[in-house]
Structure 1
Amino acid sequence: MKTYLAGPETPPGNAFPVPGRPASPIDTAHVADLISQLLTALGEDPTREGLIDTPNRVAAWWVEFFSPRDVTTVTCFSESQLSDQMVVVGGMSVWSLCEHHLLPMNLQVTAGYVPDGEVVGLSKFGRIAEHFAGRLQVQERFTEQVAEYLTSVIGRKDVAVAVRGMHLCMGMRGVRMEAARTTTLHIGGQFATNPVLNQQFLAAAQWNAA
């Protein structure tokens, strides 16, 4: 068993900001005050019974949202009997926020890789997805961040990630197409050069999204 320090988004000294992550700690009191002001601007009374604690609850949620579980350490297990397998983990559902409208998006994630002498701990896939969802996002960038992270863990480009997203910024505003779904794909290494492997992953991803 080996434990790897992974995380291409966290350079030494945090030399540059990470897209979608706050550059400084969240001022919960200020956020609560802003929510109270928003309620007033919307014609509501933030002091009425149903809204008295709403600003504080919303502020607490923002802190929770921007504090996903850490995945800087990823455990890999030695495994000699792999026999040219492909590993696909699907059924991962995470919520994120569209940075253009601050509305939720639900992302269904399927990730695959080709192991070589060791396998990645399965629970880490879900934590990686949660980690990159816990910020202001766009689905395209989320897909690449998950793929880049997995690539850094296994040390090769043999990684594929499929994401199927339901965006409330499209379903409850604008064109209001509730059934619309967006699919993004990252296909790297053998998944890009081996058409059989490519089709096997796409079939698995479609099955997991059904």
Structure 2
Amino acid sequence: MTIGPGTAGAAAPDPLEDLARQLLTEIGEDPDREGLRDTPARYARWWREFTGYDPGTIDTLFETTSSGQMVVVSDIKVWSLCEHHLLPFNCSLTIAYRSAKQLLGLSKFARIAHQHAHRLQVQERLVSGIADDVMSITEAPDVAVIGQGEHLCMTMRGIRTVGLMTSTSFHGVFAEDSSARSELLSLVR
């Protein structure tokens, strides 16, 4: 079999790059013009980087010195993608729990949050999934996650105005006891 010129060792076409080229063409751009020539490859790399994100170890635990202590980690910033429009949204998260037997390592809160953010998402599922993981890893029933996000699907299209959406996931004492919930909310303010 004879291999034609330019085909020996040629890499298989990248479907994500092909999609990016097609998108550029469909919106009236020339994917071969200066400035856009490498855009399809950058687009493909970004999607793979975003969806292939590895948060590292998320379950480092330490023995607690006092059970029932409220631990609050605030202002964790994440970016995600709205599954309805494939547009980004940023979210500031507060994660709280009352320690039972073990304490979760501080950086693990952010790792858990980023693990959930690096997929097509809605904010309500983002905060709920984070709460579920913190409960599962720490075995603490008292967990709360508050997310406040700006969604570019609202800011850049449709109504085209900035608005912050707040969603919560309260479990255990945070769901059942208004004084515990009030204590948390006063700490977050």
- Aligned pairs for 1:6-155 within 5 A: 29-70=14-55, 73-80=58-65, 82=66, 84-155=68-139
**Higher normalized contact order (CA 8 Å, seq sep 6+, divided by chain length):** 1
Q: Which amino acid aligns with 2:64?
A: E
8 Å contact from structure 2 (residues 77, 90) kept in 1: yes
Secondary structure, aligned partner of 1:74: coil
Contact 1:71-1:128 within 8 A present in 2 as well = no
The Cα RMSD (Å) is: 1.6
TM normalised by structure 2 equals 0.89
1:204 Cα shift?
2.5
* Secondary structure of the corresponding residue to residue 202 of structure 1: helix
Same amino acid, percent of matched pairs: 46
For 1:30 and 1:70, how far apart are their aligned partners in 2? 26
How far apart, in 2, do the equivalents of 1:51 and 1:73 lie? 38
Unpaired runs of at least 5, structure 1: 1-26
Give the residue type in structure 2 aligned to 1:199: S
Q: Return the offset for 1:135.
A: 0.6
Alignment-derived partner of residue 202 in structure 1: 185
The structure with more radius of gyration:
2
Q: What residue number does 1:159 align with?
A: 143
Runs of at least 5 residues in structure 2 that lack an aligned partner in the other structure: 1-11
Aligned counterparts of 1:68 and 1:181: Cα–Cα separation in 2:
26
Q: 2: CA distance between counterparts of 1:70 and 1:165?
A: 21
1:9-47 superposed Cα distances (whole Å, 9 cap, x missing partner) = xxxxxxxxxxxxxxxxxx981010111011111111100
Give per-residue Cα distances to partners, 1:133-168, cap 9 Å, x unaligned.
001100011111001111101213210000001000
Per mean C-alpha deviation after superposition, the further-off stretch among 87-96 and 64-73 is 64-73
TM-score of the superposition, structure 1-length normalised?
0.80
Count of aligned pairs? 178
1:68 is displaced (CA, Å) by: 1.9
